[in-house]
Amino acid sequence: MHLYVAARLYRIDAIRSRIRPGAWALGALLLWLVYLGGVHLGDEALDWRWWPGQFAMTWLGILFITSVCLLVSDLATCFGYWWRPHNRKLTAGAALAGALVSAFAIYQAVRTPVVVEHELVLKDLPAHLDGTVLVALSDIHLGAQRRAAWMERVVERINAVNPAAVLLLGDQVEDEPANDPRLAGVLRAIRAPRGVWAVTGNHEYYGNAAGTIAEFEAGGVRWLRDERIELLPGLHLAGIDDIGSRMRNGGNILSGLDQLYPGAAQGATILMAHIPAAPVIDRAAARGVGLMLSGHTHGGQIWPFNYLVAQRFPYVDGAHHVGDMQIIVTRGAGGWGPRMRLWKPGEMLKLTLRAPR
């Protein structure tokens, strides 16, 4: 993609008239080497290495979007054989479109997540809990880019919803603990009388999971690791530890869920499970769970990768029904890899629970 974009951009008259071919080729080569160096360094480190790593990931996203725009132009002109008087102008227009769409995708990724509301009837919910409001977030990915200052804006938006409890659905960090001294204070500013509850995601286990758990516990967050509690009288909250490592190693991904519910779930039940794997969904529905909340997919993050994600997971984004169970898969509050989202921004869920009538 890098070579393709470099070659097509050099067809634009405004570039060809100002830059010699050798200088353009040298610049493209140097940019490619910076990209390779950034990929090698990665973007998880919290020191200077984050910048080339972040450039590499974002450049990859820009290349993809720009390549798609340029390819549309090339197909329209049969790679320059049709509309010859205009094909260079079309190439310039496609390059401009790639730049504008990329800028929009970056904006969608870095903005404060929007509130997406779901009103749902939860089976067996007691009448006195009708109207209970919860907030759920997933895939925050705190780290080198998203720090306590970004999370502070998220907390302000959470508090504006006035939830009874806040549910964090995994991938709270990029890989390693955020190591931000302000984070604990920011998390303690969340106003939720029934607490803030979390489950682990795959990224917690890519790094120091114990350190991340302790870091969030210092901010008042309580973790559910194959555990369940009674959140409110008649409303049960359960959380399973991340199944990602077991998926990668061929282990039993249902062991945590089976430990929680060897038989049918009793009462109104919400299950927090980071990865919406089909076996977990089917087993939870069979056990009588009323609502399952997941993340992990990022909603595909950059269109059209949502179609590829759908080949791996049955539900990529939004609310669905599996038998009597409802499942909501959130596209997440943050992002991973290229700091880009196309076309939908990050989100946090406002869940209003209704009792059956």
* Nearest-angstrom CA–CA distance, 23 and 35: 18
Helix H segments across 225-352?
Answer: 244-248, 255-260, 278-286, 305-309
Contact 155, 182 (CB under 8 A): no
List, for residues 21-64, the tens digit of each pLDDT value.
999 999 999 999 989 888 887 655 556 667 787 888 899 999 99
Per-residue model confidence (pLDDT) at position 51:
77
Per-residue model confidence (pLDDT) at position 244:
85
List, for residues 232-290, the tens digit of each pLDDT value.
999 999 999 999 877 777 778 999 999 999 988 889 999 999 999 999 999 999 999 99
- In the sheet that 133-137 helps form, which strands lie side by side, from edge to edge? 114-121, 347-354, 133-137, 165-168, 196-198, 221-223
* Nearest-angstrom CA–CA distance, 244 and 313: 13
Residue 17: DSSP 8-state? T
Per-residue model confidence (pLDDT) at position 45:
57
* Nearest-angstrom CA–CA distance, 91 and 100: 14
Task: Please give the average per-residue pLDDT across 219-227, as a whole number.
Answer: 96
Domain boundaries, the chain: 2-109, 113-354
Phi-psi region of 174 (alpha: psi -120 to 50; beta: other; left: phi over 0): alpha
Per-residue model confidence (pLDDT) at position 44:
58
If one counts every other C-beta atom within 10 angstroms of the C-beta of residue 150, the result is 18
Element (H, E) at 109: helix 87-110
Examine the pLDDT at 102 and tell me if it is beyond 80.
yes
* Nearest-angstrom CA–CA distance, 293 and 310: 17
Q: Which tokens go with 147?
A: 């720090």
Of the two residues 79 and 315, the one the predictor is more confident about is 315
Helix axis angle, 2-9 relative to 50-76, nearest 10°? Answer: 60
Examine the pLDDT at 161 and tell me if it is beyond 60.
yes
- What band does 304 get if pLDDT is binned at 50, 70 and 90? very high
Measured CA distances, 185 to 63, 134, 181, 216, 345 (Å): 39, 21, 8, 10, 26
Which residue in the block uniquely carries the two structure tokens 């959140």?
231
Q: Residue 184 phi/psi, 5° resolution? A: -60, -45
Per-residue model confidence (pLDDT) at position 38:
84
- What band does 153 get if pLDDT is binned at 50, 70 and 90? very high
Per-residue model confidence (pLDDT) at position 47:
64
Per-residue model confidence (pLDDT) at position 108:
93
Domain 113-354 belongs in CATH node 3.60.21.10: yes
Q: What is the mean pLDDT of the chain?
A: 92
- What band does 121 get if pLDDT is binned at 50, 70 and 90? very high
Percent of the chain with pLDDT strictly greater than 70: 98
Contact 8, 96 (CB under 8 A): no
Per-residue model confidence (pLDDT) at position 93:
93
Q: Which tokens go with 202?
A: 């795959």
Measured CA distances, 49 to 39, 43, 103, 261 (Å): 10, 7, 23, 45
List, for residues 324-356, the tens digit of each pLDDT value.
999 999 999 998 888 899 999 999 999 999 999
Q: Which tokens go with 81?
A: 């054989």
List, for residues 183-204, the tens digit of each pLDDT value.
999 999 999 999 999 999 999 9
User: Which residues does residue 196 pair with via DSSP β-bridges, in sequence order?
Assistant: 166, 221
Per-residue model confidence (pLDDT) at position 320:
97
Per-residue model confidence (pLDDT) at position 46:
58
Q: Which tokens go with 61?
A: 């996203």
pTM tops 0.95, yes or no: no
Percent of the chain with pLDDT strictly greater than 90: 75
